[in-house]
Amino acid sequence: MKVHDSILKELFSSSEMVSYLASQSLEQWQVEYAIMRAPVSLERKRDLFLSLGKEEDTPFFVPKAQNIQRLLYETQLKQGEFLYLKCYEDNGEHFVLDENKLKPFLTWDRLFGCIREYLEDEKGEEISPYLFHAERWSPDGKGELKNDYDFHILGTEICYADYYGSSRHLEKYYCSMNPDLNLPVPFHAGDIVTIDCRPAAPVSHVVILEVGDNRDCCCLQALGRGEDGRWTIGAVKHADFPPRRWPIFSPLYRITTFCGQLPEEERLLETVSRYIEGNEKKGAALWEAIYRFTVQRGCYRWHNKGLSNRQLRKMLK
């Protein structure tokens, strides 16, 4: 199916992704996931599904809108229910729970008023360094309280929800935070791109090594600098970049071709880009060499030990 760029602009701040995806024929499930996992409000997701549903013969998107409407209904507090706000702040290394900002609320208006006060302190920031989670607590009928919903807030909008109950009318993880997104991209081997998943992690850059068939979820492979300063490979569509502090949404929503001067610590990416010269075979060979050198298999999981600057330069000779 073709998706109009007016809808894509609601989801993607990357103009490159908007233009490219508007020219592609996408599967319905790809459009569904692109909307569900986007960093936009639940209300906007519902409205986008309803808009797409007007043009379909067999219902597919309208039931998705109904699922989100059920979630929105659950944001309406009933007798005995309350919200418990949690604020997580980026300390430069990872997100930590700010215990001074733990507060219960009886209304969403008061909760959002509190969030606005926190955000006032960060007016100079383009994107807030805070992550807000609102837990919904309700009586369980046995004299105790149960936490059956977590609502995840970006800025002052509820964008995601996790459901812990047993209602057959709701899917447990519909519209939960999920950074995996499998869509085709307009980039090529050797391109340096900007990865922007704020507030989950600072802006960073990677160089594309492979695009492959541009359809598989693991085909878009890149090289980037980890938090420990070592160079690692990973799948962009699986949000291996930026290094996972707290996966919220896919880097594909904001990914753009980088133009300008890289930070000093990332300038080796320019050398890698010149080495590949747009040749995917060279990028794939470099990926294979890095993989064999850095990825070790332990008893239970893979471990990517990364490359030092010196080791990477040696591979490029």
Which tens digits make up the pLDDT trace of 156-201? 999 999 887 655 445 555 678 888 999 999 999 999 999 998 887 8
pLDDT band at 258 (very low <50, low <70, confident <90, very high): very high
pLDDT of residue 128: 67
3-state secondary structure the chain: CCCCHHHHHHHCCCHHHHHHHHCCCCCHHHHHHHHHCCCCCHHHHHHHHHHHHCCCCCCCHHHHHHHHHHHHHCCCCCCCCEEEEEEEEECCCCEEECHHHCEEECCHHHHHHHHHHHHHCCCCCCCCCEEEEEEEEEECCCCCEEEEEEEEEECCEEEEEEECCCCCCCCCCCCCCCCCCCCCCCCCCCCEEEECCCCCCCCEEEEEEECCCCCCCCCCEEEEECCCCCEEEEEHHHCCCCCCCCCCCCHHHCCEECCCCCCHHHCHHHHHHHHHCCCHHHHHHHHHHHHHHHEEECCCCEEECCECHHHHHHHCC
Domain residue ranges in the chain: 5-36+38-73, 82-163, 192-315
Around 143, how many Cα atoms within 13 Å sit in the side-chain half-sphere? 0
Summary mean pLDDT of the chain? 89
Mean of pLDDT values over 206-210: 98
pLDDT of residue 298: 46
pLDDT tens digit string along 222-235? 999 988 889 999 99
Bigger pLDDT: 182 or 94? 182
Is the pLDDT at 133 greater than 80, yes or no? yes
Does the pTM of the predicted model rise above 0.85?
Answer: yes
**Cβ contacts of residue 232 below 8 Å, gap of 6+?**
223, 224, 225, 226, 240, 243, 294, 304, 306, 307
Q: Report how far residue 41's alpha carbon sits from residue 275's, in angstroms, rounded to the nearest whole number.
A: 42
